[in-house]
Amino acid sequence: MTAILMEVAQVLLVAFLAPLFAGLLRALRAILQNRRPAGCWQNYRDLYRLFHKESLQAEGTSWLFRFAPYGIFAAFCLAAGIIPILATGLPLAPAADVIALVGLFALARVFQVLAAMDTGTPFATLGAHREMLIAGLAEPALLATLFTASLLSQSTSLSVIVAHLEQLRFALHPSMVFAATAFFMVLLAENARIPVDNPATHLELTMIHEAMLLEYSGRHLALMEWGAQIKLVLYVAIGIALFLPWGIAPAGQLTALPLTLTALLLKFAAAALALASVETLLAKLRLFRAPEFMATAFLLGVIGLLSFFMLGA
């Protein structure tokens, strides 16, 4: 029963932390750019306002358009339950396979792309095509990164990977260095961050993710925005689990939770500062340069795999 409560608490923590993390990232980015930030809690006010507005549906759309926000949000919440964020060995740990995790992200993307194409509008369809172009290169790079960690720990279970890497402490593995670089590039691309996409833009000719949300409103738009924020937190949590697993509580050790929660918040704060710095220092790439960016990430992931096979580390 305690493990189930821990699982539920982890999902609720991710759902609550996601708007705060996105707000902190936006505030840090504004500060670094000498602008006045809106505040870390602005996303909560935006979500509250959207949930209390009427949801309109474009003419000619099917049930898929209405169902997609709920399916996307549910897929990300399920992913939050299988990633070892607070502790390892949770009830969903046997299902915490890296392939299943990538499959959940792909399922959410399929819902979003099909819903965008269901509207029949040119910009939503254009955004859906661009999203699949990025995904076609980002998913292989993500799999290469996850397989590098899997080979190192001899398991595809995220809980086993985290437990194994946590025991290694400060051991340096060349394969994981390449994997970490590739994963960071995938994180930027999959979450519509600079240099691949600008989350603050609404210029139809350049945006990717926002183009697929133009026809949504009310609670449907709130769920889509909230899901995107949860996705960003999940990618950061995966990066922490793979490359900075120190502090994640072992299975059944409730006494370690206060230290785990403190370490987790510090890691997320550091991740927000790193992402804000990258988005401040880099400029957005032209759209036709995005495949080259993702191809570089895939190449680094493959080099990580080859490093493991050649060096065994």
Is 308 in a helix, a strand, or coil?
helix
pLDDT, residue 74, reads 95
- Count of domains forming the chain: 1
- Helices 257-281 and 218-243, interaxial angle, to 10°? 110
pLDDT in tens, the chain (313 residues): 677 888 888 999 999 999 999 999 999 999 998 988 888 999 999 999 999 999 888 888 889 999 999 999 999 999 998 898 888 878 877 777 888 899 999 999 999 999 999 988 888 888 898 889 888 889 999 999 999 999 988 888 888 888 888 877 666 788 999 999 999 999 999 998 888 888 777 666 667 888 888 889 999 999 999 999 999 999 999 999 999 888 887 766 767 788 888 999 999 999 999 999 999 998 888 888 888 999 999 999 999 999 988 877 6
Q: Note the pTM of the prediction, 2 decimals.
A: 0.94
H/E/C letters for each residue in 14-75?
HHHHHHHHHHHHHHHHHHHCCCCCCCCCHHHHHHHHHHCCCCCCCCCCCHHHHHHHHHHHHH
Element (H, E) at 292: helix 290-311
pLDDT, residue 206, reads 66
Q: φ, ψ for residue 209 (rounded to 5)? A: -70, -45
Q: 10 Å Cβ neighbour count for 203?
A: 9
Containing structural domain, residue 27: 2-311
Exposure on the CB side of residue 41, measured as CA atoms within 13 A? 1
Say how far apart CA 193 and CA 6 lie, in whole Å.
31
**E strands, the chain, in order:** none
The answer for residues whose C-beta is within 8 angstroms of residue 227's C-beta and 6 or more apart is 69, 72, 73, 76, 108
